[in-house]
Every structure is written in C-alpha cells, then in structure tokens.
Amino acid sequence: MKYLNEINRRRTFAIISHPDAGKTTLTEKLLLFGGAIQTAGAVKSNKIKKHATSDFMEIERQRGISVATSVMSFEYQGILINLLDTPGHKDFAEDTYRTLTAVDSVILVVDSVNGVEDQTRRLMEVCRMRDTPVIVFINKMDRDGKNRFDLLEEIEKELNLHLHPMTWPINSGKEFKGVYNLHEKNLVLFTANTKGSDEDVVSINDLSEALLDQKVGDRDANILREDVELVDGVHGELDAEEYLKGKVAPVFFGSAVNNFGVKEMLDTFIRIAPTPRSRETSIRPVDVNEDKFSGFIFKIHANLDPKHRDRIAFLRVCSGKFERNKYFHHVRLDKEVRFSNPYTFLARDKDIIEAAYPGDVVGLFDTGNFKIGDTLTEGEDFYFTGIPSFSPEIFKEVVNKDPMKTKQLEKGLLQLTDEGVAQLFTQFGGNKKIIGCVGELQFEVIQYRLLQEYGASVEFRAQPFYKACWISSKDAKKLDDFTRFKSNNVATDKDGYLVYLAQSEWFLNTERTNNPDIEFHFTSEIHKN
C-alpha cells in the first residue's frame, strides 16, 4: 500500500467516438480546463485529416506528431488525469481497441445529429468485453439534432447500455438554451464559446420556481418540468456501483466546440471515474496496491520516417513503482531490462521521467524487444490477460516478388505483426501466408515497410474472406475433422492457434449450425492461461 496516495489521485481514460463526433474538440476543451494547453486549436495537429486518407505517408507523418500527444496528462482539482488518445482514422481501429485495454474508463462522444454510428458500436463492443465504465457526452446540441428521448432510446438499444441522464437539455439547434443539471439542481444557460469558468449558472432547487420561466420562457420551462419529472421518475439517483461495473452510463448533453456542458461532465468524471484498477494475469489477480512493479505493453509505435527510425513501446503501469534505470523482468524474453530514457507524455512535450505509478503510461524506446502484450515485473513470471487480438476485416495473400529475400520477408512479417500492424495467418496444410488488417491503408504501410526496412518486395492478392474466427473444441477429433474437411478455410495464426476464415456471415452461420461442438471466437487472447 506504499503508493496509495499516488494511485488514488489518478484517473486513466480514453475518449472514443465515431470520426467527426467531436472527440478532438472535447479533448482540447478538457486540456484547457487542466491548464495543459493555453489556446484553442493546439490539439488539432493530432487529428488525421480527412483529405489525407489516400496518402499513408501523410497519415504516418501526422501519427508521428500524435505520438507526443498519445497520452495527455493534466491535473484538475488535485486529480492527475491521463487521457489516452485513440486514432480517429478507422483503418487504425486496432490501435484504438488495444488502447482500450490500458484505460480504466471511457468517455463516449455521440453526435446528437447522427446518433449511434458504426464506429461507436464497435468501440462499445470492445468496452463491454472488459465491463469498462462509460460516461456518454451527447455533443453538438447547438445543431438541430434528434429528439432527446429518441436519442437516448437509440443509444440504449444499439449499445445495450442503461443510460442515466445527469443533465437535461432545453431544446437543440438555434433554440438551444442550455441544460438543467439534475444532480446539482442548477440551470446552466447556453452561451456560445464560454470559457468554462464563466458559465452562466443559475441555482434552481425547485423547478416550480418562477425564476425558471424568467430565464428560459414559459413554454420551455414547462417542457423542462415535464421532462425532468419523467426522467427523475425513471432513473432516480445515479448508482455509482452500477456505473463502475459498466452497467449504467451517466449522460451529459453539451456542445464541445462551444465549451458548453464540458465542465459539468469533467466535475462528475473526477468524482465517480475509477482509480486505477486491479488486473487479471495468467496466474493470479494483481492488486493495484501491491508494492512490486508490474505493467504491460499495449501499443508500439514505429516511425516510418527514415530519419527517425525509432520505435516506442507504450507501457501501462499496473502496480508498484516504475523507476528509471532500474532493472525489471521481461517475462517473455526471460531477461532483465532497464530504461535510461523513459518518458511521460505531457501535452506540451516529451519529458524524461524518474518514476511512474499505476495508471500512468510510460514511453520506452525499443529496438525490437517488445511485442504487444509483453509484461514487465520485478521478477515474477506472469502475463496480463485481457489483451485480445481482434478479427481482421480485410485479408490478402502475401506474394513474394524476390525469392532471394525470403528470410528478410519472414523476419519483417514477424516484426510487423509483433507491433500489431497486422495479423499473419498460414493456410492449413499449405504455405500460403495471409495478412489480415482492419483497413486498406495498413497494406500500403506493410508493403512500404517491408521494402524500406527489410529489403523485401511483395505484392498482395485479395482473399475472399470477411472474418477470422479462432476455433476450439472439447472434442479433439471433431476439431481435427473440421480442420481437414475445411482445409482451404483453416489457417494457423502466428502463435499456432487454429483459425477459421469465413467467406461471409452466411458461411460462418452455416458452419456454426453444422458443427455445434466447435466454438467460434471473434477475438483471441494474446496470452492464453
């Protein structure tokens, strides 16, 4: 319990959203509150711009910039907040999924006009795997959005999440007048571009007060009264335990670009969001309060710029104290390692650090010693679990154009898959190497890097698969039979686990029905117990 104070003052989280819902804008407003940045616009460089989608080098250049802001640490009311950035571009969704394994909670931004979108759904699925506590921020209330009740119903239904409104909006679009804070019992009146501290807040304990009519007009005051009665009747007080279990999500309405409704959310966030939590490992749960250090690598960033060919491994501290120049145990390599230049990520710039505590993320310069999911300890042998690989969505066969470089190609493919750039499958009984990615851009990145870094020249041949499912069965014979009958669709992943490559949902459902003894999984634990 040596580090209890440090642990209790930390909150580590990520903001997730469908692109364009307002994640970058909200991030920036939170940083302004924390004093980590002084001017609006400072976080914009972090965003991969829409027009760059066809140019992966440009995207990489921007990702390079974004390393510095991969983790933004700032203090707010004595609480140290670590905000882990997630790439907005959908082709880098795997990076986002893995970052979610390193946070203790998330803020989900939903666009009030577009409601639940594709990426929102997928990200929430990943959160649900770990029962991550979620706070929802419904953004862009200054635009004519969906009806507030319909929107909540849509989110509840689509994301399979119970919502608990913490603030309630008065109209939307041009008529948007502000929100009523159901918890604080005050009215926050909307003015565009507030500075946060100078919000127009009116305390209204009893909604029947005439002051409400004066402030928002009779009609809207009455609508608000009816709405609040309904909302209070259904929801009552927020059950913090249910939020921490990931069952109930508090909801705030606001407008990030106008810095409206953000402070209400941040104040609640620091009050209820979880402190760094204990975590499961391959042999026992590791209590966050243990004195001995442990942590795991959840992301590796390789710089494509030939002038700065460095890799940075992102370590999440799970227990104890990480110290500069101290030897730690690299479990997979069974080797003692130390780091002379570990750095923390502050919004301003990179800083070398001496020590880090649970909840913190440390950047480690890496020359190829790390892969995703690696665990560091003070000597004990275990792996943190709950760091899955996700099924890719695009599959291509790797065609070696230069047989003289076969060895280099194999080495390159292994290293790139260690970094989590792509997944590699070998067709069962054959030698076909199939790469699976979440987005088309990764294939360009892989082709470029194999040539630049390993001298291997490749082409890709499209494969007609839509999902990879890891398969298992209690009946070894049935699994064996299935593997042989379906050998064209069965492959092994990099660690030798069996995978069924499905051409379509229909094929997958058919195989599931025909083979009830075989289990199909869309994710695979990197470290199996």
The site for ligand G4P (CB under 6 A) is made up of: 17, 19-25, 47, 88, 139-140, 142-143, 255-258
Calpha distance 121→461 (Å, rounded): 30
Is 491 within 8 Å of 427 (Cβ atoms)?
yes
Q: Toward ligand G4P, which CB reaches closer, 20 or 213?
A: 20
Q: Which of 437, 441, 421, 429 is nearest to 488 (CA)?
A: 429
Which strand ranges, in their side-by-side order, compose the sheet holding 328-330? 335-337, 328-330, 375-377, 294-302, 311-319, 361-366, 343-345, 350-352
How far from 526 is each of 58, 469, 523, CA to CA, in Å? 31, 14, 9
Q: Which of 514, 505, 524 is nearest to 482 (CA)?
A: 514
Burial (Cβ within 10 Å: 0-12, 13-18, ≥19) of residue 131:
exposed
CB of 28 to ligand G4P, least distance (A): 8
CB of 20 to ligand G4P, least distance (A): 4
Run of H or E residues at 66: helix 56-67
Q: Toward ligand G4P, which CB reaches closer, 20 or 280?
A: 20
CB of 204 to ligand G4P, least distance (A): 24
CB of 50 to ligand G4P, least distance (A): 8
Bridge partners (DSSP) of residue 248 are: 162
- Beta pairing class for 328-330 and 361-366: unpaired
Tell me phi and psi for residue 41, to 5 degrees: 95, -10
DSSP 419-479: TTS-EEEEETTS--EEEEESSHHHHHHHHHHHHHHH---EEEEE----EEEEEEES-HHHH
CB of 455 to ligand G4P, least distance (A): 37
CB of 171 to ligand G4P, least distance (A): 14
Burial (Cβ within 10 Å: 0-12, 13-18, ≥19) of residue 146:
middle
Which residues of 20-131 form beta strands (DSSP E)? 71-76, 79-84, 105-111
Q: Which of 92, 96, 70, 95 is nearest to 83 (CA)?
A: 70
Contacts of 326 (CB under 8 A, 6+ apart): 338
Q: Toward ligand G4P, which CB reaches closer, 85 or 227?
A: 85
CB of 13 to ligand G4P, least distance (A): 16
Is 485 within 8 Å of 421 (Cβ atoms)?
no
Calpha distance 406→250 (Å, rounded): 54
Q: Toward ligand G4P, which CB reaches closer, 259 or 344?
A: 259
CB of 458 to ligand G4P, least distance (A): 32
SS3 state at 90? helix
CB of 169 to ligand G4P, least distance (A): 12
Q: Toward ligand G4P, which CB reaches closer, 123 or 387?
A: 123
Q: Toward ligand G4P, which CB reaches closer, 20 or 378?
A: 20
Q: Toward ligand G4P, which CB reaches closer, 12 or 66?
A: 66
Q: Toward ligand G4P, which CB reaches closer, 65 or 283?
A: 65
Q: Toward ligand G4P, which CB reaches closer, 50 or 528?
A: 50
Q: Toward ligand G4P, which CB reaches closer, 188 or 435?
A: 188
Question: Residues of 83-113 as b/e, b for ≥16 C-beta within 10 angstroms?
Answer: bbbbbbbbbbbbbbbbbbbbbbbbbbbbbbb
Run of H or E residues at 168: strand 167-170
Q: Toward ligand G4P, which CB reaches closer, 110 or 221?
A: 110
CB of 29 to ligand G4P, least distance (A): 9
CB of 502 to ligand G4P, least distance (A): 31
Q: Toward ligand G4P, which CB reaches closer, 97 or 425?
A: 97
Q: Toward ligand G4P, which CB reaches closer, 143 or 225?
A: 143
CB of 47 to ligand G4P, least distance (A): 6
What are the structure tokens assigned to 272, written together?
A: 């209820």
CB of 173 to ligand G4P, least distance (A): 9
Calpha distance 343→85 (Å, rounded): 16
Q: Toward ligand G4P, which CB reaches closer, 97 or 370?
A: 97
Is 69 within 8 Å of 30 (Cβ atoms)?
no
